[in-house]
Structure 1
Amino acid sequence: MKNISFRQLRSLLAIETHGKIVEAAKVLGLTAPAVTLQLKQLEAEAGVQLFERMAHGMYPTEAGRAVLSAARDIEDRLQLLGDEINAFKGVKRGRIAVGAVSTVRYFASAMQNAFAAEFPDIDLDLIIDRRTETIERLKNRTIDIALVGRPPRDISVRAAIFGEHSLVVVAPPHHPLVGQHGISKADIAGEHFIVRGSGSSTRIWFERFMAEIPGRAAGPNTEMELVEDIKRAVMADTGLAFLAAHSVAEEVQAGKIAILDVAGLPIRRQWFAVSRTDRAMTPVMTAFQEFLTRHSGQFLPEALPA
């Protein structure tokens, strides 16, 4: 494998991304025969077939996936080298891909605006999605940093705390429990709850919080994936909800939702900026992580009982 070139590896990555040699050639600015030749040369060097040629496109073989993984590692290292050279020059410019769980959307704009003002030469690509998809992107190296409420346990990561968030029980403003103090878990055990999906952190913490009430975590509940749908259901008097306080800050301020004073709440949790330990921190990644630590208070809203 000593004769493999960067050009061949980039062609291989382009074929994987676009699924067809013709499309890969367009992106690379080459002809289709040239890309085909590079693939054949790479397969000859490896001594194995790297792609299956199907009617609907090109699909990597098991050997192909191994070579693609090495190609991505090399691309990452070259990107890191470029960032390191820029750092030696005193340049803070480049691009960073950040994945974030869905509740980050409630402070995403403020965070992006503040970062852009401090680092105008760094392009921040922010992808907001469910936790499962965000962690999968981190595993697949399609993002540099993930913003999550708890670090994953199935891959080795470095995790930097950049702020806190609180978990609370919310209700429609006219609910009988609104205004009462020291509400017990037993008092809310019979209430209908609208809960997040089973993979979300708020769902996990709701189940932990209600664990001492036998069978309560299992129902009566209505499951909704989106926080916005849950908030609308609460405002429509469909039930109570267990949510991050910052996700309801606007509705609480407007008097559309109330936070109940439940004993043992709020549960204070931390925000983490997570990156893979098998990847060196680039200057751009370091700049973003340090920015979060310094300025999180500027864009992390809060809403707590009076």
Structure 2
Amino acid sequence: MRRMTLKHLETVVAVAESGTIAAAADVLNVTAAALTSRIKLLEDDVGVALFDRTGGRLRLTSAGQEVVTIAMRVDLLLAELKATLTAHKDKNAGRVTIGVASTAKYFAPRLIASFARGHPRVEIAVTVGNRATIVAALREQTVDVALMGFPPADVPVVAEIFGPHPQVVIAPPDHSMAKRVGIDKTELCHEGFIIREAGSGTRNNFDAFFGGLVLPPPRVHIEIGSNETVKQAVMAGLGLTLISAHTIEAEVAEGRLAILDVIGMPIMRQWYVVRPQAREQSPAARSMWQFILADGRGFLPKIALPVK
């Protein structure tokens, strides 16, 4: 592949997105003949067809799709390089990519906004997703910093605690247990639960809390991959749930949800700021990291928990 350059990668992506040589030539501001020649030289060099030319449009072959995938990764690396070089000129400038676990989205915007006000020349990109998404981003080193419930054990990362993360059981305010004190968790085994998907931090907490009981654990009769939908289902009377207390601040304050006074709760977990171990921190990313450790706790939702 002696002839492959960044320009060739750009060409394949442009043709794939445009569908025709003429349209891609307009995008790249070159002649159609030059673009055709460029693609032919590249295909001759790699020895496989990158486009299917049947039907009057150019469609990617499986080999062409691999080129596009690699081209996207190269773009990310070039963006990272640009940000790193910029940051070396000015420690208060550059780009930071932050991954936010979906449960952390209830406080992360306030935290990020505060950092941004103090660092107006830092460009911030935010990725919000479930635990699997954030772990994948850490594994692929596509984020500088992540906010999550607990760090992955199978990915090389650096992780530090920045605040407590209580887990509670909630019910509709008119539930028979809503006003009770000192509920034994065995009583909850007769209730139906709505719970997050397998592999999520909330689901892991649920399994750990109810594991080892003589009685069968509560029945999970609805599995939902969104905290918002879980809360709506509980408010509708479809069941109870175990959830992060930091996701229900508004609903509890407004009397739409009640925290049950269950013995052994809240389950106190921690919030972590995490980064890929092998990814060198830019000055801007280091500033974000230090800001979260110093001030992150202050952005966590304030919610009254049952007194133990």
TM-score interval, normalised by the smaller of the two chains: 0.7 to 0.9
1:11 equivalent to 2:11? Answer yes
Residue in 2 that maps onto 1:159? 159
Residue in 2 that maps onto 1:305? 306
Shift of 1:292: 1.9
1:86-144 CA distance string (max 9 Å, x none): 23322533333333222222113312321221111223232323333444455566555
Distance in 2 between residues matched to 1:253 and 1:113, nearest whole Å: 24
Residue in 2 that maps onto 1:59? 60
Contact preservation (8 Å) 1:21, 1:35: no
Unaligned runs of 5+ residues in structure 1 are none
The size of the alignment, in residue pairs, is: 304
Residue in 1 that maps onto 2:271? 271
Q: TM-score normalised to the size of structure 1?
A: 0.81
* Alpha-carbon distance change, 82 to 125 in structure 1, aligned in 2, over 3 angstroms: closer
Contact preservation (8 Å) 2:48, 2:63: no
* Alpha-carbon distance change, 20 to 142 in structure 1, aligned in 2, over 3 angstroms: farther
Report the more deviating stretch, 165-174 or 77-86. 77-86
Query: What SS does structure 2 have at the residue aligned with 1:170?
Result: strand
Contact preservation (8 Å) 2:96, 2:285: yes
Distance in 1 between residues matched to 2:51 and 2:218, nearest whole Å: 47
1:262 equivalent to 2:244? Answer no
Distance in 2 between residues matched to 1:276 and 1:57, nearest whole Å: 39
Query: What SS does structure 1 have at the residue aligned with 2:264?
Result: coil
Shift of 1:160: 4.1
* Alpha-carbon distance change, 142 to 30 in structure 1, aligned in 2, over 3 angstroms: farther
Contact preservation (8 Å) 1:83, 1:283: no
TM alignment of 1:70-85, pairs within 5 A: 71=71, 74-85=74-85
Query: What is the RMSD computed on CA atoms of the aligned residues?
Result: 3.3
Shift of 1:222: 2.3
* Alpha-carbon distance change, 54 to 228 in structure 1, aligned in 2, over 3 angstroms: farther
Shift of 1:53: 5.2
Query: What SS does structure 2 have at the residue aligned with 1:147?
Result: strand
Contact preservation (8 Å) 1:158, 1:275: yes
1:145-196 CA distance string (max 9 Å, x none): 4433233455444434443311111122333333444322112111222212
Residue in 1 that maps onto 2:250? 250
Residue in 1 that maps onto 2:129? 129
1:177 equivalent to 2:177? Answer yes
Q: TM-score normalised to the size of structure 2?
A: 0.80
